[in-house]
Structure 1
Amino acid sequence: MSRYFLGIDAGNSKTVALLADETGEILGRGRGGVGDIYGTATEELAVDAVVAAAEAALADAGVSAERVSAAALRLAGVDWAEDERYWEDAAARRLPGLRQVSIRNDGFALLRCGTVSGVGVAVTAGTGPAVAARGHDGQEYCASWWIQHALGGLGLGEAAFRAVVDAEIGLRPPTLLRAELLTLYGHHDVADLLYAFTRRGSARSGRDYAAAARSVLRAASASDAVALEMVRSASSTFAGLARVAAERTGLVSRAHPATEPVPVVLGGSLLTSELPAYREALVKDLRRELGAVRVAATAASPVAGALLDALAEGGVELDQERHDRVLTTSHPADFLLT
């Protein structure tokens, strides 16, 4: 009789779920809305999104929840022990058929996208940042709210906006970002750009800044000094957080240097971009902070990592064949659309 496994990745743009059998063959997919309890008007709305994605994946596969051997929920907003308890209660209440459920911050989902074992450090730079790690003995660490730095796309975009405004009034040097942002947002001059973002009743929101992150990467790749400094500053902080995560999980020690390279998985749109400035800077800084590293950048969706966690936690021996099958399975274009 087949065994089934459920992986869910929930964030601030969407929630997605995959159901597979023990071979790693994808049988069902599901989508929901925002699944972060910090990002919805009420916590129950986030639960609704996760439940909707799970039920859709189960229905797509024609499998009942009672037949699922293990489910791995990797959720944005699982930041404190009380958040994990909240989701444990919610899963028991809203998805009572699931027998074995693990709940972790979504930063952990990336780990198995890079290593079969799930051991190492995961660094994600998408709209926001995440750092998580797992040691050889299973010890885990997630930086979560200890990341008090704007290291993702939103932070880079806001920094670019400030740099352009400052340069316009002579507080900072000229930068290629001026032309980049005017083209991106469709304005003729910086005064119009500033007005569009700051006037009363503006349709622009804080998340609009994130669109400028790629402008920073383009300018940095063109050796723009202002953009390069933004990338280098963010990279240095990210690498320091990765070192903290590696130390907390026993992957490195100041007293006893690692005897083998530390696995580091990079994910998110900024670190997997065809524009390499951020990724190259981070790899250099990781080597400074951690010593020998084995870096893998993956464009795989974190939901694939959540599913791999479910398989491993459900007692399936994860070999390279299963690992690769989950990661290389293609999905409908609208399934992972943000």
Structure 2
Amino acid sequence: MNDLFLGVDAGNTKTIAAIADRHGNILARARGGLGDIYGVDDPGEAVATVLRLVDEALAAADNAVPDAHLASAAFRLAGVDWAEDTTLWTEALTGHLGPDVRFSIKNDGFALLRCGDPDGIGVAVSLGTGAAIAGRGPDGDEFAFSFWLQHPLGAAGLVDDALHAIFRAETGLAPSTSLSQAIPQFYDASSVEDLLHRFTRRDNTEGTHLNKSKAARVVLREAERGDLVAAGIVNQHAERVTAYVESCASKVGLDSGEPFTLTLGGSVAADNTIRKTLLRELGRQLPHVDVSSQDAEPILGTILDALAEGGIPPTPAVRATVL
């Protein structure tokens, strides 16, 4: 009987389930919407999304490899922040997968770790719609920032800061910026005031976390063009990420000054403007860190976790097949 290994990466923008064989070949994928139990009115909605995608991926894999057996699964889920969140998911997954399937549940910040270090040791930073930062030390100590992350980062964080800047500039409380024209234009607003009204009026549907995040590319573009306010926002985000990385490393026993792997990923980190700013700041503050700037999807890290936890060592051949 062939063994299957399931990885699930659930976030606020999308959720992906993927199945691999013991060699790391991806046999099936399923993609859907929000899988964060904190991002919906009823956590059952996020649970239902994840379980549906698991079933879709397993069905597709069964078509490719009939009579295969699910040996191990790794769930890396946004919104696994407290013990009761793990309990909720454990009950849901045990009931759905059955008592004989081995699985692990962790915050989605851990998804990228094995993409950088085969043993999953180091710190991972994923900058997408939001940010996920997590680390694992050489003795197995783990830490995910989750709600300890007190600065909005990722796409939504960039745009939040940009909106503050243009609203303050409009009232004469901050420097002028090209963002005051570029961001309203992005949203087809006639002015800064029109944008503020649309984002804050009663019964508005536009001032959401996800909708705001869509303008991140505008902030990065204006920074690249030389706007000082936009560039300042990008620089500040790089400084914040670097500080969180240093704190996370300390919490998991990666001593200051000792080399460790930092894995960068996510759609925002893939942008050249913020990536070069991040790399510059990391090199200045943490020169001992080996930065692995990955274009790999976090789902691939969850597959590597599922394989490793299911007894398949992350050999170079396996990693090359997965990544």
TM-score higher than 0.5 here? yes
Q: Residue 113 of structure 1 aligns with which residue?
A: 115
Instruction: Give the Cα separation in 2 of the matches to 1:34 and 1:193.
Output: 26
The percent of aligned pairs where both chains have the same amino acid is 44
TM norm structure 1:
0.89
Match of 1:144 among 109, 127, 146: 146
Q: Is the 8 A contact 1:153 1:270 kept in 2?
A: yes
Q: Structure 1 residues 43, 161: CA separation in 2 closer, same or farther (over 3 Å shift)?
A: same
- Alpha-carbon separation, structure 2, partners of 1:47 and 1:312: 25
Q: Which moved more, 1:16-25 or 1:316-325?
A: 316-325
User: Which amino acid letter does the alignment assign opposite residue 45 of structure 2?
Assistant: L
Secondary structure of 1:112 counterpart: helix
Q: CA deviation at 1:97?
A: 5.8
Aligned residue number for residue 61 of structure 2: 61
Shift in Å at residue 288 of structure 1?
Answer: 4.0
**Counterpart residue identity of residue 172, structure 1:** A
Note the C-alpha offset of 1:64: 8.3
**Displacement of 1:197 after TM fit?**
2.3
Instruction: Give the TM-score normalised by the residue count of structure 2.
Output: 0.93
Instruction: Name the structure 1 match of 2:313.
Output: 317
Q: Give the distance between the partners of 1:281 and 1:218, measured in 2 at CA.
A: 13
Given residue 262 of structure 2, which amino acid in structure 1 is its aligned partner? V
SS of match in other structure, 1:130: strand
Partner of 1:330: none
Residue in structure 2 matched with residue 174 of structure 1 by the alignment:
176
- Indicate if the aligned counterparts of 1:79 and 1:144 stay in contact, CA closer than 8 A: yes
What do you get for the CA RMSD once the two structures are aligned? 1.9
The range that moved more, 195-204 or 235-244, is 195-204
- Amino acid across the alignment from 1:263: T
Gaps of 5+ in 2: none
- Pick the aligned partner of 2:261 from 260, 263, 266: 263
Preserved contact between residue 113 and residue 304 of structure 1 (Cα < 8 Å): yes
Query: Contact 1:125 / 1:271 at 8 angstroms: preserved in 2?
Result: yes
Q: 1:167-316 maps to which residues of 2 (within 5 A)?
A: 167-207=169-209, 208-253=211-256, 257-258=257-258, 261-273=259-271, 275-276=272-273, 278-316=274-312
Is the 8 Å Cα contact of residues 122 and 262 (structure 2) preserved in structure 1? Answer: yes
Report the Cα distance in structure 2 between the residues aligned to 1:140 and 1:192, rounded to whole angstroms.
45
Seen in structure 2, the aligned counterparts of structure 1 residues 10 and 212 have a Cα distance that, compared at 3 Å, is same
Distance apart, 1:25 and its partner CA? 0.9
Q: Which string of whole-angstrom CA distances, capped at 9 and with x for unpartnered residues, describes residues 20-71 of structure 1? A: 1101111122234322111122222222111111111110011689811110
Equivalent in 79, 83, 100 of residue 85 of structure 2? 83
2:41 aligns with 41
Q: Separation in 2 of the partners of 1:98 and 1:326?
A: 25
> What amino acid maps onto 1:212 in structure 2?
A
- Paired residues, number: 320
What SS does the aligned partner of 1:123 have?
Answer: strand
Give the letter aligned to residue 123 of structure 2.
Answer: V
Provide the C-alpha distance between the structure 1 equivalents of 2:301 and 2:157, rounded to a whole number of angstroms.
Answer: 26
Work out the CA distance in 2 between the residues paired with 1:65 and 1:299.
33
Any conservation in 2 of the 1:78–1:104 contact (CA below 8 Å)?
yes
Secondary structure of the residue aligned to 1:93 is helix
CA contact (8 A) 1:12 1:39 kept: yes
- Supply the distance in 2 between the matched residues of 1:98 and 1:225 (Cα, whole angstroms): 57
Deviation at 1:311, TM superposition (A): 0.5
Contact 1:184/1:212 (<8 A) preserved = yes
- The gaps in structure 1 that reach 5 residues or longer are 328-338
Distance 1:174 1:65 in 2: 64
* Cα separation, 2, equivalents of 1:185 and 1:39: 23
The CA distance in 2 between the partners of 1:204 and 1:4, in whole Å, is 42
In 2: Cα distance, 1:10 partner to 1:85 partner = 17
Q: Which residue of 2 aligns with 1:334?
A: none
Q: Distance in 2 between matches of 1:45 and 1:196?
A: 28
Per-residue deviation, residues 79-111 of structure 1 (Å, max 9, x unmatched): 112211221121111221652101100110011
Asked whether the 8 Å contact 1:65–1:95 carries over to 2, the reply is no
Superposed displacement of residue 220, structure 1: 1.4
Counterparts of 2:106 and 2:260, CA distance in 1? 22
Identify the range of structure 1 (303-312 vs 38-47) with the bigger mean alpha-carbon deviation: 38-47
**Per-residue displacement from partner, 1:257-276 (whole Å, max 9, x unpaired)?**
31xx3211111111111x32
**C-alpha separation in 1, matches of 2:235 and 2:100:** 45
User: Aligned equivalents of 1:9 and 1:310: distance in 2?
Assistant: 12
